[in-house]
Structure 1
Amino acid sequence: MVHYKLYYFPSRSVAEPIRQMFAYAGVEYEDVRIPKEEWLTVWKNKMSFDQVPVLEVDGKQLPQSLAIGRFVAKQHGFYGKTPFEAAWIDALADQFKDYWVALAPWFYVHMGYAQGDEEAAREKCAGPARDMLFPHLKKLLSESKSGFLVGDQVSWIDFMIQEHVTVLEEEFPGYLKDYPEVFEHAAKIRALPPIKAWIERRPVSRG
């Protein structure tokens, strides 16, 4: 049996879709939550690329959240049923990455991870970032017969988008008010029995 260890901070963020895939698949793993005060002195130089998340697979480290997401999705059946569906999942993940680069200056100031004028960052980032992703998600979900973003079964990108939408609503209420489809989608994913059970038992943490 493969031994997994997932290293991240005591928060959800980019590690949470990986945790949700493990929960849905019923896969055991070590959920290593690194205290932030220990990061620089104890952990940073032990991690590939000096960052987390890192997934350790039988003692070998894999960095970068998108690479980890793709790996776990391929291993446990969250990568679509066809090569074309897999490519669409990749396309959405890449679009999400572009969106996140645009949103991050505002998000990091709001969360206290960076210094700056939050209102100025919001004015600069909020609208352009949102327009890069959510109109496209709205269209995909409006056309979906299954309620999932790609194909007729839950995939890695569903977990990623659900978690992010949940965090946005917690931190920026009203930011996605014109996109009810993404809230319906998020509720659908959270209601999947293994995910519902995971949410009920996971440590309480900010997004």
Structure 2
Amino acid sequence: MPSYKLIYFETRGQAEPARLLFAAGGLQYDDVRLTREQWKELKPKTPMGQLPILEVDGTAICQSKAIARLIAKEVGMAGKTPLEQARADMIADTVDELAAPCQTFYTLADRNKAEVLKKEFVEKTLPRAVALFEKFASAEGYFVGNSLTWADVTFFAFMDWVITAIPGDHLKGCENLKKVMDNVSSNQGIAKYLKERPETPY
């Protein structure tokens, strides 16, 4: 079995889908969480100058989506057919697009402008996106087929962060999406991980 080392910051962020997938599949890995100071020292030595990085038997893989997709394939959660895999990719890509503005309003130096962007996201962008996702999720709580895929896990990771960072009933009336969240959080490996994972601000 390959040796895995996942390198990221002391946050959930873009590495959380990978951590959840590792947990769901019961794969052992080294969860390396860097401080900002440690990252400054390591950054010049990395392939793309960014995190997360997954080392597989010493070979570095960059980009969070590539990492999550690789793990999903390893644990049988990428989709059972090429069409299912494409659908899972579609959902994961859309989640990624939805998450992009969040990085802006949490890192912007101008806090007043950041609050305006955050308000627009919560009141306009997020409700539209949630309504769209609700249509793609089945009544059983899966985006693809009849079992968990990395699409469900990716959506869960993002919404779990949103609910923590921006309290509110963001899934009000979205019974299919609530079932997706329940299906992911009740997975045995993920439930154990969620109970034991380090407390982080985001």
TM-score calculated relative to the size of structure 1? 0.87
- Structure 2 residues not aligned, in runs of 5+: none
**2: distance between equivalents of 1:123 and 1:173?**
13
Q: Which residue of 2 aligns with 1:4?
A: 4
Q: Which residue of 2 aligns with 1:157?
A: 151
In the TM superposition, residue 38 of structure 1 has moved relative to its aligned partner by 1.8
Amino acid in the other structure paired with 1:134? V
Q: SS of the residue aligned with 1:72? A: helix
Amino acid in the other structure paired with 1:171? A
Q: SS of the residue aligned with 1:81? A: coil
The partner residue of 2:186 within 191, 195, 199 is: 191
Count of paired positions: 199
Q: What does residue range 90-169 of structure 1 map to in structure 2 within 5 Å?
A: 90-106=89-105, 108=106, 113-116=107-110, 117=112, 118-131=114-127, 133-141=129-137, 144-169=138-163
**2: distance between equivalents of 1:127 and 1:49?**
35
Q: Which residue of 2 aligns with 1:68?
A: 67
Amino acid in the other structure paired with 1:89? A
Q: Which residue of 2 aligns with 1:170?
A: 164
Contact 1:21–1:159 under 8 Å retained in 2: yes
Contact 1:80–1:150 under 8 Å retained in 2: yes
**2: distance between equivalents of 1:74 and 1:177?**
29
Contact 2:95–2:158 under 8 Å retained in 1: no
**2: distance between equivalents of 1:122 and 1:12?**
19
In the TM superposition, residue 88 of structure 1 has moved relative to its aligned partner by 0.5
Q: Identify which range, 28-37 or 186-195, moves more after superposition.
A: 186-195
- Structure 1 residues not aligned, in runs of 5+: none
CA root-mean-square deviation = 1.9
Matched, 1:55 2:54: yes
Contact 1:103–1:129 under 8 Å retained in 2: no
TM-score calculated relative to the size of structure 2? 0.89
